[in-house]
Amino acid sequence: MGGARVAFDLSIPSDIQYIEGVVELARQRCRELKFPAQKCSLNVPVALSEALSNAILRGNLSQPHKQVRIRAIVDDDDLVFEIVDEGDGFDLATSIIDPTTIENIGKEEGRGLFLMERLMDRVESFVNDGNVVRLTLRR
Amino acid sequence: MSFSIKKQGEVVVVDVEGQLIVGNRQELKQKVLDELEKGEKKFLIDFSQTGYIDSSGLGVLVSLSKKIREQGGELRLANLNDDLQTLFELTKLDTLFQISDTRERALESF
């Protein structure tokens, strides 16, 4: 990412009530950076909301003393979000299911990772001073 | 973000104002289940004032639809904007729900 700069960098407590504020900030940055309208109104809000819920509920198990850090990094081509929690991490490849199959479509759960993958150009999960999920959106 | 519920004829109409996400999905679920418990059978959720829906919100719609059907009722949806239409197509939930372009058409369809 040549010429990359941080669009925002913040930490929130492990409480789902903070998700909407972070998503709104990301949406504003997306628009200011002149990304296509639907990417700012659909792809970013939904994918980031999923990543934040996973970090709060599954990573940090909603424990109030644990934080979730969110960094947004931008360059000419990409907008990248890094969501870091204090959990044990997970294997993205084995955790994702297809919620559109006949056996899964009627289930309440199981669409989060699928939506992140469909709405972002790249989704990575790795451990680096915390459990990191990196979402990359190309312009 | 909030939900308003009113009765139009025999149909309970729910307006979703703002987002339908992990932080408020239980509120919607409880409001609809309360109406179901009172004996209401026909439900319409109108998304004309909705921003975005996350996987938890979609999950609640699936769960409510199932519970309403189990009680002999039906849940229909109306006024999905382009973003929400895309979301329903991606998850194939457009095949699970009856979706109308307008509230009026949805009400007539019951």
ipTM of the predicted structure? Answer: 0.92
Backbone torsions φ then ψ of A23, nearest 5 degrees: -65, -40
Structural domain containing residue B52: 2-109
CB contact under 8 A, A16 and B23: yes
Q: Which amino acid is present at B55?
A: S
Quick one: which of B52, B55, B54, B61 has its CA closest to B80? B52
- Residue A79 sits at the vertex; the CA angle it makes with A129 and A39, to the nearest 5 degrees, is 130
The CATH number covering residue A111 comes to 3.30.565.10
| Partner A contacted by B26 (CB < 8 A) | no
Each residue's pLDDT, cut to its tens digit, for chain A (139 residues) gives 568 899 899 999 999 999 999 999 999 999 999 999 999 999 999 999 999 999 999 999 999 899 999 999 999 899 999 999 999 888 888 889 999 999 999 999 999 999 999 999 999 999 988 899 999 999 9
Total domains in chain B come to: 1
Total domains in chain A come to: 1
The CATH number covering residue B38 comes to 3.30.750.24
Query: What is the chain A residue with the closest CA to B51?
Result: A41
Question: Which residues of A sit within 8 Å Cβ distance of B?
Answer: 16-17, 19-20, 38, 41-42, 45-46, 49-50, 53, 57, 99-100, 105-112, 114-115, 118-119
Instruction: Please tell me the predicted confidence (pLDDT) of residue A2.
Output: 60
Structural domain containing residue A68: 5-138
Instruction: Please tell me the predicted confidence (pLDDT) of residue A97.
Output: 92
